[in-house]
Amino acid sequence: MNTRMLINGELVEGAATLDVVNPANGKVFATIARADEGQLEEAVAAARAAFPAWSKLTYEERGAMVGKLADALEARKEELAQLLTREQGKPAAQAMGEVIGGIYQLRFYASQRHEPQIIKEDAKSRILEHRTPLGVVAAVTPWNFPFMMVTQKIGPALVTGNTVVAKPAPTTPMCALFIAEEAAKIFPAGVLNVIVDENELGGPLTAHPDIAKVSFTGSTGTGRKVYASGADALKRITLELGGNDAAIVLDDVSPKEIAPKLFNGAMINAGQVCLAIKRVYAPASIYDELCDELAQLAKDAVVDDGANQGAQIGPVQNRMQYEKVLGFLEDARENGTVLAGGDRLDRDGYFIAPTVVKDIPDSARLVREEQFGPVIPVLKYDDIDEVIARANDSEYGLGGTVWSADLDRGVEVAMKIDSGTVWVNKHLDLPFDVPFGGAKQSGIGREGGDEGVSAYTQKHVINVALN
Ligand code: NAD
């Protein structure tokens, strides 16, 4: 288990230390290196110094090294998945899914190319468009997917010729340090740096004058600060932020068939997914039946330490979020009818019983805000236009789902949801070559697909007179 940061090609101790807690028991399981502002400066300076040589390499050369990192991580995937469960809490199968996903993601980015293109040519001129890297990228990530959020950023940043300073969330730094350990053997010094903080270095890092681009995933509140911090230097900024995704169930589905899909979409990773289903809207004709089906699934779900076989829902990742979710439960008890769960589990760690709430008003906190925990409100509707308006009445617009036996009807409703991605009769299908991101205050820019790769470059046009 690597406990050191990666700065200028070396695995280094920190100016300070950080305790990392296993959310399944609330106990410290690692004490690791933590940076101060001096080490942040060293990391940015190393990335800056590495940029000229790294950016001159070809896509093939850089892609080969990113691919090598994927191979090295794959060779240790069991160890990595166990570490991921230990620091984040998710069940083992979900942790392995994240690890494999992150490795494939690196391979996808390793294969991407941005060759110069002739965009116009006639007798008088030839106009070539190159895509050049930006410089040093700050990659700042949250605690819900501590491996895949990092690979999602370093993959496209590195392959396009940028150098990187990555900073994971303070409660889940271990996967990033695992990547750092393997990266130290592969990349030239300074190309990838990984530093750890206690939530105080994100600001100085994103505001640093030598950072050319910030790729940030986290809450909308922090995203606003990151956006503001880039104003002076007019930094390129990608923001992947919070969501409050609605699932709209149409009246032609079978509640029994649809309930497990909705339940999984809401409870995966204990509800700590930006694109998790965070509000379910069901028509009056099937409302009670659907609520009962969801409640039964909540009562039957196995909530346990993700490392234990059979665990379906793990703990909430950290104490702060746990207390936040307990606040949402209080709101649910006061304003709605709790059909299942409704409280913490009486055991060590940050466990919350999967909770289903009905008859709660749209104005309740649990409906308006992002709960980011295993708690789902189910709301009744009478009219499809009315429910579309209610679903769109949010500052967020990240994802959403529509469930119907009639695909045309499903797509018609999906077209009216003001979100970056809307799925019809499925959920969380995120191919690497398809861009995703938020509408409204769920973000700016896209990750994934060609757009996600281009976001780490700028156009450089060479316009040549031919006579
Ligand atoms: P957060 O905003 O608290 O923290 C995210 C990261 O920002 C952490 O690394 C943190 O240390 C750092 N940070 C803190 N203050 C900063 C500052 N002033 N400047 C720069 N960085 C700073 O988010 P979180 O609680 O770790 O993550 C949960 C949130 O992330 C949820 O809202 C979730 O929806 C969102 N999220 C979004 C996506 C997406 O793709 N849209 C994906 C995953 C999570």
pLDDT for residue 388 is more than 90: yes
- Pocket mutation for ligand 1, best pick of 140, 165, 350, 436 (most atoms within 8 Å of C-beta): 140
Read off the amino acid at residue 163: T
Q: Is 451 a catalytic residue?
A: no
DSSP assignment, residue 385?
H
| pTM for the whole structure | 0.97
Nearest CA to ligand 1 atom 21: 202
Nearest CA to ligand 1 atom 42: 274
φ, ψ of residue 375 to 5 degrees: the values are -135, 125
User: How far is the centre of ligand 1, averaged over its atoms, from the C-alpha of 255 (Å)?
Assistant: 35
Per-residue model confidence as pLDDT tens digits over 141-176: 999 999 999 999 999 999 999 999 999 999 999 999
φ, ψ of residue 117 to 5 degrees: the values are -125, 140
- Residues in contact with ligand 1 by the CB-under-6-Å rule are 140-144, 167, 169-170, 199, 202-203, 206, 217-219, 222, 225-226, 240-243, 274, 370, 372, 398, 438, 443
User: How far is the centre of ligand 1, averaged over its atoms, from the C-alpha of 286 (Å)?
Assistant: 37
- Residue 350 CA to residue 74 CA, distance in Å, equals 30
The answer to whether the CB of 215 falls within 8 A of the CB of 137 is yes
User: How far is the centre of ligand 1, averaged over its atoms, from the C-alpha of 142 (Å)?
Assistant: 4
- Residue 198 CA to residue 187 CA, distance in Å, equals 26
Nearest CA to ligand 1 atom 19: 203
Cα–chain center distance at 270:
14
Residue position matching structure tokens 């990659």:
139
User: How far is the centre of ligand 1, averaged over its atoms, from the C-alpha of 172 (Å)?
Assistant: 12
Residue position matching structure tokens 């998710």:
90
Nearest CA to ligand 1 atom 43: 274
The stretch 245-259 carries a mean pLDDT of 98
Per-residue model confidence as pLDDT tens digits over 323-376: 999 999 999 999 999 999 999 999 999 999 999 999 999 999 999 999 999 999
The answer to whether the CB of 102 falls within 8 A of the CB of 178 is no
Tokens (6 digits) for 309 = 């076989």
β-strands 16-22, 27-34: how paired? antiparallel
Place 467 in a pLDDT band, splitting at 50, 70 and 90. Answer: confident
User: How far is the centre of ligand 1, averaged over its atoms, from the C-alpha of 243 (Å)?
Assistant: 12
Per-residue model confidence as pLDDT tens digits over 293-327: 999 999 999 999 999 999 999 999 999 999 999 99
Alpha helices in 18-91 (DSSP H): 37-56, 59-75, 77-88
Q: Annotated catalytic residue: which of 42, 240, 293, 370?
A: 240
CA end-to-end distance (rounded Å), the chain: 63
β-strands 236-240, 443-444: how paired? antiparallel
- Residue 449 CA to residue 431 CA, distance in Å, equals 8
The answer to whether the CB of 34 falls within 8 A of the CB of 14 is yes
Residue among 72, 92, 84, 95 nearest 29 (CA) = 84
Per DSSP, what are the bridge partners of residue 378?
A: 280, 358
Atom of ligand 1 nearest to the CA of 438: 41
How many alpha carbons fall within 13 Å on the CB side of residue 347?
13
Continuous segment of H or E residues that includes residue 107: helix 92-110
Nearest CA to ligand 1 atom 9: 169
pLDDT for residue 410 is more than 90: yes
How many alpha carbons fall within 13 Å on the CB side of residue 279?
33
- Pocket mutation for ligand 1, best pick of 98, 217, 238 (most atoms within 8 Å of C-beta): 217
Three-class DSSP category at 280: strand
Three-class DSSP category at 4: coil
The pLDDT of residue 27 is: 98
The pLDDT of residue 404 is: 98
Q: Give the orientation angle of helix 77-88 with respect to helix 59-75, to 10 degrees.
A: 80
The pLDDT of residue 85 is: 98
- Residue 192 CA to residue 183 CA, distance in Å, equals 7
β-strands 125-133, 117-121: how paired? antiparallel
User: How far is the centre of ligand 1, averaged over its atoms, from the C-alpha of 455 (Å)?
Assistant: 19
Atom of ligand 1 nearest to the CA of 170: 11
User: How far is the centre of ligand 1, averaged over its atoms, from the C-alpha of 380 (Å)?
Assistant: 32
Per-residue model confidence as pLDDT tens digits over 71-121: 999 999 999 999 999 999 999 999 999 999 999 999 999 999 999 999 999
Nearest CA to ligand 1 atom 39: 240
